[in-house]
Structure 1
Amino acid sequence: MISEPNADQTAPLPRPASIVAIAGLLALEAVGVLAAALWYLSQLGAPGPVPLGGRIFMLALLVGAAVWQAAVALNVFRGRPWTRAAALVWQVFQVIFAVPLIGGATTLAGVGLLVPAGAIIVLLFDPRVTAFYGDRAER
C-alpha cells in the first residue's frame, strides 16, 4: 500500500482532484517528450551541422527527460513533496521555451506548451495541494 503524506496525523488527507490533474498533465508532457525523442530518432540519419555523436547525445537527453517527467508524474500522484519543486522547474523552462514559439507558424505549438505549464503552475499552489503535501493546513 502506498503511504500518504501527513503520516503524523490520525487520518491521511484524501488525494485532491488537483493532484490527479497535475499528475495527468505531467504524464501527458512525458508522452510528448517521448514523442519528440521518437521523431528525433527518425531524423537521426539526416544530414545536418551536428555530428552523429552529438545527435545521439541529444536523443539520450530527450529519452532521459521523458523518463524523468514520467517519474515526477507518478510521484506527484503518490504525494511525494519533493515533486512540487521538480514539476515547477520543468514548467518554468517550458514557459520560457513556449513564449518565443507564439507567433507565426509555431503559434499552436507555443500555446500547446504554455497552457498545460500555466495550469500546472497554478495547481501546484492550490491550498489543497499544499495541505496534501503537508506544507500547511487546508483552509
Structure 2
Amino acid sequence: MKDPARPPAFWGLAALLVAELAAAAAVAIVLLVDLVAAEPSSLATALALTVLVLIAVAWMAVTIVGLLRGQAWVRASAIVWQVLQFAIGLGALQGSFAQPAWGWPIVAVSVLTFALLFVPSVVRATQGRGSREG
C-alpha cells in the first residue's frame, strides 16, 4: 500500500474546503451573471471584484488538489484562506448593512477548518514535500 489510510479529520478538512470552493464558485457565477445582465455603477470595480473571486476559486481548487496529494504547502495556503474568510465573515457581522445570516456561518466554517488544519493526524497526512511519483 503506497499511502496509509487517511484519517477522518483529513476527510473532514477536505469536505470543508470543497464546501468553501463551492461557495466561492457560486459567488463567482453570480458576479459573472451580474456583470453581463446588470449595469454596474462602476465597471472597473465590478471587473476587479469578479477577477479577484475567480482567482480565489482557482486558489481553492489548487489547494484541494494539493491536499488530496498530501502536500505540506496546502496547510499554509488553507490557513491564509481561512484568515481572509474569517475577516469577510466578521465584516458581514458589522455595520449598518450587517448580514449575520451568512456572516456567522462563514466565521464558524473558518474557525472549524482552521482548527482541523492543526490536528496531528491531518499534519501527518499532509507532509509530502514533492511529487508523489513512485
Instruction: Report the TM-score when normalising by structure 2.
Output: 0.80
Question: Is the 8 Å Cα contact of residues 80 and 133 (structure 1) preserved in structure 2?
Answer: yes
Structure 2 runs not aligned, ≥5 long: 129-134
Alignment of 1:1-139 (within 5 A): 12-44=3-35, 45-48=38-41, 50=42, 52-102=43-93, 106-134=99-127
- Shifted more, 76-85 versus 56-65: the winner is 56-65
CA distance in 1, matches of 2:127, 2:58: 26
Q: Distance in 2 between matches of 1:53 and 1:98?
A: 24
Q: Is the 8 A contact 1:84 1:124 kept in 2?
A: yes
Superposition RMSD on alpha carbons, in Å? 2.2
Check conservation: 1:23, 1:74, Cα contact below 8 A.
no
Q: 1:58 is matched by which residue type in structure 2? A: L
Runs of 4+ that moved beyond 4 A = none
The structure number with the bigger radius of gyration is: 1
Size of the aligned set, in residue pairs, is: 124
Where 1:99 maps in the other structure, the secondary structure is helix
Aligned to 1:43, the other structure's residue is in SS state: helix
Contact 2:83–2:110, Cα closer than 8 Å, also in 1: yes
Q: 1:12 to 1:43 in 2, by over 3 A?
A: closer
